[in-house]
Amino acid sequence: MPRAVVLLSGGLDSATTLAIAKDSGYECYCLSFNYGQRHDIELDKAKQIASAMGAASHKVVTLDIGQFGGSALTDDNIEVPKDVDTEEIPVTYVPARNTILLSIALGYAETIDAKAIFIGANAVDYSGYPDCRPEFIQAFAEVARLGTKEGVEGRPITIEAPLIDLTKAEIIKKGTALGVPYELTWSCYSGGEKACGHCDSCRLRLKGFAEAGLKDPVPYEV
């Protein structure tokens, strides 16, 4: 069975991506990151998801890019926006996060002879992050081809983003069909016993479940 590295944040999209990778016939090696984010709830959720979904392995890499600041997700001095619609890239964008995480995943994939890296990037119902766009995924695939032994020898590790063109409702429907335990996932940017329901991530998630005609199993403050 071919191996794949799956970036698992603990959120809805990454859990669905794990299910798709498994359904595609890959043995999944999950990789999560403690990068200095505002809370570690999502890391606890990632561990639970990896176990529940039968991942072959789950590793957590500590990489404190949060010390640089510059994002509401890593800097307590920057407030997480609530109930805000904007055409601009929001302050919840973590500078170059996916570039950094994919680079580490690429090194891990080459070490364990994985054939693919799966990432839950989405460019439809999303916050406008530049490193979630198809152009970025395609560019990083070229980096993987040019910058690794596997790529130079003609066996490039592929970068798979199966959710890139799906709406949140389509993602949820697909994940539900594959048995994703959405009750274990966490999408909220704020830490707490319940999701806030007001940050951009919560709003996109709630919109997706509503459009899919399903009830979100995660508890909310409102």
Contact, 115 vs 151, CB < 8 A?
A: no
Instruction: With beta carbons less than 8 A apart as the criterion, state whether 21 and 57 touch.
Output: no
What percentage of the chain has pLDDT greater than the value 90? Answer: 74
Rounded Cα distance, 144 and 119, in Å: 14
Dihedral angle, C-alpha 2, 13, 8, 202, nearest 10 °: 180
Q: Which residues contact 78 (CB under 8 A, 6 or more apart)?
A: 69, 71, 72, 91
Element holding 111 (H helix, E strand) = helix 97-111
pLDDT tens, residue by residue, 191-202? 788 999 999 899
Find out whether 163 and 13 touch, Cβ atoms under 8 Å. yes
State the sign of the Cα–Cα–Cα–Cα dihedral 101, 76, 16, 205. negative
CATH numbers and ranges of domains, the chain: 3-212 (3.40.50.620)
Spatial contact of 84 and 128, defined as CB atoms under 8 Å apart: no
* Residue spans of the chain under pLDDT 70: 66, 81, 86
Nearest Cα neighbor of 75 from 67, 83, 86 is: 67
Tell me the pLDDT tens digit for each residue of 26-59.
999 999 999 888 788 999 999 999 999 999 999 9
pLDDT of res. 81: 67
Q: What is residue 80's predicted lDDT score, i.e. its pLDDT?
A: 76
Range 60-80 burial, b when 16+ CB lie within 10 A, else e: eeeeebbeeeebbbbbeeeeb
pLDDT value of position 72? 76
Strand, helix or coil at 86? coil
> Which 8-state DSSP code applies to residue 195?
B
Q: What is the pTM of this model?
A: 0.94
